[in-house]
Amino acid sequence: MVYAKTKNKEEWRKHATSMCCVLIASLIMSVNIKSFVRAGNLIPGGFTGLSLLLQRSAFEFLGVSLPYSLINIVLNAVPAFIGFKMIGKKFTSYSVIMIILNSFLVDLIPVAPITYDPLLVSVFGGILNGIAIVIALYGKASSGGTDFIAVYLSNKLKKPSWNFVFGINVVILMAAGLLFGFEEAMYSIIFQFVSTQIIERFHQRDQRVTLFIVTSKAQLLEQELMSYTHHGVTRLEGQGCYLKENKALLYTVVGADEVKDVVHLVKALDSKVFINTVKSEGITGRFYQEPLE
């Protein structure tokens, strides 16, 4: 009963965290579009950039002013459907919320350029864009479009794939260069490169951490761990040298962003558990241990 309440409370906490991250990321991305991106006439890549490209093309070549929200939501409909099937319902649901919020915020927030220097716009706009995506990914969401591709490939390949998506964005940006000039396209590539490096540096999901868990409740923990993380668990039997009690060592590898939640889960099930976390590079990790009784 106590564990059920703890688990339910943890689920609500994660949901609240995800929603806060989605709101903050949507706001940052929208402000970035209406300040740095608009000031430099940049195409930020991905479906956000494709939406801006179509909006700008319709206005300049057809004289039609299309709302960004309409274009962005329609373009993301197919990737969102694929995300539900291939990535996960929760992740895609939060992403859809972010896509809708970002779309309407871009239409509502007034244009407020901070600087017109193209290099400053490219660098600082890229930093803000990367930060927004990192915050969204921390909340188990994305900005949609090519982010779905990056997350899917990262899950399948077990390694970061953002630089691959950067290559796709370069192709989109070169196409934009044919329409509006290669100078703006090249600055847009700088913008996208900076954004990609921020994501690669600060997004922890693709970083792996090894957990060594010493417990006397191995059967309970291993089932809950596999159910919660969807990762395999290896179990080794042993004996504590201090109290001569039978113990089991559970070995598993999780994403760096999962460690805190997994530790909370394990300690809720076994208050006397010993956990050693070690980064995949082999750097000594943190220790969570109850004092000997």
3-state helix, strand, coil in the chain (%, to 5): 65, 10, 25
- The residue among 82, 63, 73, 140 whose CA lies nearest residue 107 is 73
HSE-CB for 113 with a 13 A CA cutoff: 13
* CA dist list (Å): 124 to 83, 91, 94, 137: 30, 28, 26, 20
Which of 34-43, 57-66, 199-208, 259-268 is least confident? 199-208
CA torsion angle for 223, 83, 147, 205 (degrees, to 10)? Answer: 0
pLDDT at site 205:
61
d(CA 286, CA 278): 7
| Model confidence at 20: pLDDT above 90 | yes
d(CA 190, CA 186): 6
d(CA 266, CA 258): 12
Is residue 172 within 8 Å of residue 43, measured between CB atoms? yes
The tens digit of pLDDT for each residue in 135-180 reads 988 888 887 777 777 777 766 666 666 667 777 777 777 777 777 6
The tens digit of pLDDT for each residue in 257-284 reads 677 778 888 888 887 888 887 775 543 3
Q: Are strands 274-279 and 246-255 parallel, antiparallel or unpaired?
A: unpaired
Q: Tell me what percent of the residues of the chain surpass a pLDDT of 90.
A: 6
Is residue 211 within 8 Å of residue 251, measured between CB atoms? yes
pLDDT at site 160:
63
| Model confidence at 24: pLDDT above 90 | yes
Cite the beta strand spans of 78-226 per DSSP E: 208-215
pLDDT at site 270:
81
pLDDT averaged over every residue in the chain: 77
Is residue 90 within 8 Å of residue 141, measured between CB atoms? no
The tens digit of pLDDT for each residue in 73-130 reads 888 787 788 777 777 788 888 888 888 898 888 888 888 888 888 888 889 988 998 8
